Structures are given as C-alpha cells and as structure tokens.
Chains A and B, each alone.
Chain A
Amino acid sequence: ELKVEQNPLFLSMQEGKNYTIYCNYSTTSDRLYWYRQDPGKSLESLFVLLSNGAVKQEGRLMASLDTKARLSTLHITAAVHDLSATYFCAVDIYTGTASKLTFGTGTRLQVTL
C-alpha cells in the first residue's frame, strides 16, 4: 500500500525566512501534485510534477521531484503571511483505467509577522 509522508506536520516561521517541506512516498511514481488548502476551504492546485527532476516555480514557492529518491520538496522563499495555509502533496498512481491520488498528511504552515 502506498504511503505518503510529509514533514514537518506543522511549521511556524517568520516572514522573510526560507523553509522546505518534504514529501516522501513508498511506491514508484513519476507524478506528484501539490495542493494548498486554506481553513474551511477547498483544495487549490499549486504544482503538477510529471517527471524525474521536474522543477516548477510560482512566486515564492518552488516544487521539485526526485523519483529515484521518491521525494518531492516544496521550498518557500522569503515567506509572507499570505502563504499561511495547509499544504498537501499527492502521489498519483495511474492504473491504466484510473488515476488514483494518495495524499500526504499535510503540513500546516503558519507565517508570523
């Protein structure tokens, strides 16, 4: 059974600081997604990583995928308060007929002023 683990589970950081969220998974996959969820809200897609070595950047967030290490990272540069949210990685296993996402435990990010 695929296991997807994120760490840390909770991250409190000051504005302006850098930090990285890690997503490890247990089964071979070359498709991984990052989502953001604000409290009481839906999930918003941030990044789609579709191959080994893929790197995507949007604003202060950068995501990367190492399929050999079964590891994805979400790097936050010079955090701002607006980035406070819960971030989920999700590993996609395509069965030939269906795409099945297995979500990580989530990392709750709190950016303090």
Chain B
Amino acid sequence: DTAVSQTPKYLVTQMGNDKSIKCEQNLGHDTMYWYKQDSKKFLKIMFSYNNKELIINETVPNRFSPKSPDKAHLNLHINSLELGDSAVYFCASSQDPADGGALETQYFGPGTRLLVL
C-alpha cells in the first residue's frame, strides 16, 4: 500500500492555466506538507497543515493555495501558472510534532513533475 500518494505524476500545461495537485496519505498522520524542488534539486518547504489547519506558510506567491478537506488529504491549487513554477512538487506527512514532544520523520510522496510551457 502506498503511504503518501500524489496525482498526477506528470503535469504539462500552458502559462496562465490553473491546475491542481492532489495528495493523500494513509499513515494516520496529522501533519502534511508541500515542498518544491527546483531544477537544481534544491528543496524548499511551501506549506504545512496540521489536522486541516495551516501552520506554515512560507513566502509563496498567493497564486498557490493549499486546501485540506480532511487530515488525510492536502491539495495544492495553482492559479495563473508561470514558467518559473516548473518544478517537482512533493507532498509529505508526519506525526504531529507536538505528540509527546518527539519529532517524527517526514514521509514523502512520489512527486508531481510540473512543466509550464
């Protein structure tokens, strides 16, 4: 069984379009994340949700809007796509860091490769 899944795996689209990426985890985790990996392989956190509540919102254009319908899902909607949005987007999940004070490993999904033309 896949622990953290993302759809689609590949996304090719034109500038100006709006697209969504979906993420689901079946690990029972309370916290989910979105990361962006650029062409140089640099990984940077974008958002974090804990039990459907936004808790980390890095400096990300407001064209990016995360939505968490329940704690097992965290979707990423991108409006008015730009060339610079081309990257690999990874979803991740972890136990709630506040549980017992012990931080837990973040488990990553397979990634969504977005290419904006």
Interface residues, chain A, with chain B CB atoms under 8 Å away: 31, 33, 35, 37, 41-45, 48, 50, 86, 88, 90, 92, 94, 96-103, 105-106, 108
The residue among B31, B48, B109 with the most chain A CB atoms within 10 A of its own CB is: B48
- B43: chain A residues within 8 A (beta carbon): 43, 88, 90, 103, 106
> How many whole Å from B47's CB to the nearest CB in chain A?
10
* A101 pairs with B50, CB closer than 8 A: no
- Number of chain B residues whose Cβ lies closer than 8 Å to a Cβ of chain A: 24
Interface residues of B in 69-109 (CB under 8 A from A): 90, 94, 97-98, 102-109
Contact of A97 among B50, B103, B108 (CB under 8 A): B50
Would you give 12 A-B contacts (Cβ < 8 Å), ordered by A? A33-B105, A42-B110, A43-B90, A50-B103, A88-B43, A94-B103, A98-B31, A98-B97, A105-B41, A105-B42, A106-B41, A108-B41
- A99: chain B residues within 8 A (beta carbon): 31, 48, 94, 97, 103-104, 106
* A101 pairs with B42, CB closer than 8 A: no
Q: Is the interface of A mostly helix, strand, loop or mixed?
A: strand
- B103: chain A residues within 8 A (beta carbon): 31, 50, 92, 94, 99
Contacts known (A41-B110, A42-B110, A97-B55); A86 close to B48, Cβ less than 8 A: no
Contact of B105 among A42, A45, A86, A98 (CB under 8 A): A45
- Cβ-based interface call for B44 (8 A): yes
- Cβ-based interface call for B116 (8 A): no
Contacts known (A86-B41, A103-B43); A98 close to B50, Cβ less than 8 A: yes
- A96: chain B residues within 8 A (beta carbon): 98
